[in-house]
């Protein structure tokens, strides 16, 4: 079976890129490992987040802001094309601070980002505890202030993934679940991808397999220094609308549940649940929003993020085997609109590495 592109990975990154390629007339096959994969797209918090993205890389700050600006149109497109409302809202975001040290950390981050050259303005500013409570009356007395950004929002990642897959398949996508890639063999022209269910041929191949990309990159001369980072989420019962804004680690879904997060643990590929971490999430959340004490916790889970050494995306076309690309990041929700509408067209061009030079893994080659 031959396609213009084979995309390895059927999560939000792979599906968004495939969506963009299919719109431009390319033929695409997605090889999806199935439910044995770690499935970051199904375990994340669903933020379209701008304010803290890019401290240390102005290109990432600008890219995140651009994707946030694309999201309203992207969400409307998905509704028109599939009838699925992906639940995108952009009311602005507040990162609540429980002490002065946390407040100073955010303030220092804002100052650093303002000093970066060519960074897109994200409107981020620090506000006092009293101003926070005027904007968001549910905030408790322990909150001393917050970082506010008007471009932050939320989306339902599960509906987004479903809509992308539905539209891609309607547009001619060949979707192969339960196909674990065992080997990628560069050919004189194109690539041969060996799976547990047979082989596939393509002119180009895109690695969008999240934490699986590091091993896959070795087949096509790509050094992809990513690793897993475990996070936890706790979900409450449904309740009436509580918030005017997205509160960073606290967000309410359209269905009424409140999601609480998130932790960071470096435990390798252990996706097991840590009850101590969940307890810390709940404790911090009720200190910020006392009304949450009245709600029952109904479910929780842990999942593995895909993290590069500096936390920024990695985009690269292989120099040894042109036509092999890696697209990987921990912000697959925030960047889904940009991946679909801006990055995908560049995969059909001739200067991908020039366009995305800042995101090359060569930035880690410190000698």
pLDDT of residue 40: 72
Q: Classify burial at 41, counting beta carbons within 10 Å of its beta carbon; exposed 0-12, middle 13-18, buried 19 or more.
A: buried
- Six token digits for residue 169: 């398949």
**Among 9-23, 232-246, 263-277, 334-348, which stretch is predicted with the lowest mean pLDDT?**
263-277
Same structural domain, 210 and 280 = no
Q: 177 lies in a domain?
A: yes
Selected residue with higher pLDDT from 54 and 290: 290
CATH number of the domain residue 347 falls in:
3.50.50.60
- The domain total for the chain is 3
Beta carbons within 10 angstroms of residue 263's beta carbon:
17
What contacts 238, CB < 8 A, 6 or more positions away?
A: 255, 256, 257
pLDDT of residue 115: 84
pLDDT in tens, 307-348: 999 999 999 999 999 999 999 999 999 999 999 999 999 999
Same structural domain, 236 and 294 = yes
Same structural domain, 259 and 128 = no
Task: Give the angle 22-337-215 at the CA atoms, nearest 5°.
Answer: 75
Q: Identify the domain containing residue 13 by its residue range.
A: 2-47+158-225+310-364
Q: What is the distance of C-alpha 10 from the center of its chain?
A: 14
Same structural domain, 282 and 318 = no
What contacts 331, CB < 8 A, 6 or more positions away?
A: 49, 53, 64, 313
Same structural domain, 321 and 183 = yes
What is the pLDDT of the chain when averaged over all its residues? 94
Q: 199 lies in a domain?
A: yes
Q: What is the mean pLDDT of residues 168-176?
A: 97
pLDDT of residue 123: 87
Same structural domain, 282 and 317 = no
Cross-strand pairs, 37: none
- Six token digits for residue 290: 């006392």
Q: 52 lies in a domain?
A: no
Residue 37 has pLDDT above 70, yes or no: no
**Among 38-52, 157-171, 225-239, which stretch is predicted with the lowest mean pLDDT?**
38-52
User: Whole-angstrom Cα distance, residue 292 to residue 115?
Assistant: 38
Same structural domain, 37 and 186 = yes
Same structural domain, 213 and 167 = yes
Residue 277 has pLDDT above 60, yes or no: yes
CB distance 358 to 59 below 8 Å:
yes
What percentage of the chain carries pLDDT values higher than 70? 98
Same structural domain, 245 and 99 = no
pLDDT of residue 33: 85
Give the pTM. 0.95
Residue 158 parent element (H or E):
helix 157-170
Query: Residue 38 — very low, low, confident or very high, per pLDDT cuts 50/70/90?
Result: low
Query: Residue 35 — very low, low, confident or very high, per pLDDT cuts 50/70/90?
Result: low
């Amino acid at each position: 079976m031959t396609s213009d592109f084979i995309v390895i990975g059927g999560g939000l990154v792979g599906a968004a890129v495939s969506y963009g390629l299919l719109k431009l007339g390319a033929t695409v096959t997605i090889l999806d490992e199935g439910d044995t994969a770690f499935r970051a797209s199904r375990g994340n918090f669903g933020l379209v987040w701008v304010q803290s993205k890019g401290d240390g890389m102005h290109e990432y700050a600008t890219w995140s802001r651009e994707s946030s600006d694309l999201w309203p149109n992207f969400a409307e497109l998905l509704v028109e094309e599939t009838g699925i409302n992906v639940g995108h809202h952009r009311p602005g975001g507040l990162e609540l601070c429980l002490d002065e040290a946390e407040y100073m950390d955010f303030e220092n981050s804002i100052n650093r980002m303002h000093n970066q050259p060519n960074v897109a303005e994200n409107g981020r500013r620090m506000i006092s505890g009293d101003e926070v409570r005027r904007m968001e009356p549910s905030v408790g007395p322990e909150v001393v202030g917050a970082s506010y950004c008007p471009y932050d929002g939320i989306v339902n990642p599960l509906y987004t993934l479903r809509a992308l897959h539905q539209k891609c398949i309607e547009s001619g996508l060949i979707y192969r679940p339960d196909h674990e890639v065992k080997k990628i063999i560069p050919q004189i022209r194109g690539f041969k991808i060996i799976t547990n269910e047979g082989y596939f041929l393509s002119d180009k191949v895109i690695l969008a397999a999240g934490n699986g990309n590091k091993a896959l990159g070795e087949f096509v001369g790509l050094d992809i220094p990513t690793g897993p980072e475990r996070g936890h989420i706790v979900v409450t019962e449904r309740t009436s609308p509580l918030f005017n804004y997205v509160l960073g680690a606290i967000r309410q879904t359209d269905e009424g549940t409140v999601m609480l997060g998130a932790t960071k643990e470096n435990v390798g590929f252990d996706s097991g649940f840590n009850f101590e971490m969940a307890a810390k999430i709940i404790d911090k959340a009720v200190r910020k929003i006392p009304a949450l004490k009245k709600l029952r916790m109904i479910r929780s889970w842990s999942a593995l993020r895909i993290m590069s050494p500096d936390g920024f995306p990695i985009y690269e076309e292989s120099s040894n085997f042109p036509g092999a690309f890696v697209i990987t990041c921990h912000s697959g929700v925030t960047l889904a609109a940009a991946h679909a509408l801006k990055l995908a067209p560049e995969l059909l061009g001739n200067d991908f590495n020039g366009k995305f030079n800042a995101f090359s893994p060569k930035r880690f080659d410190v000698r």
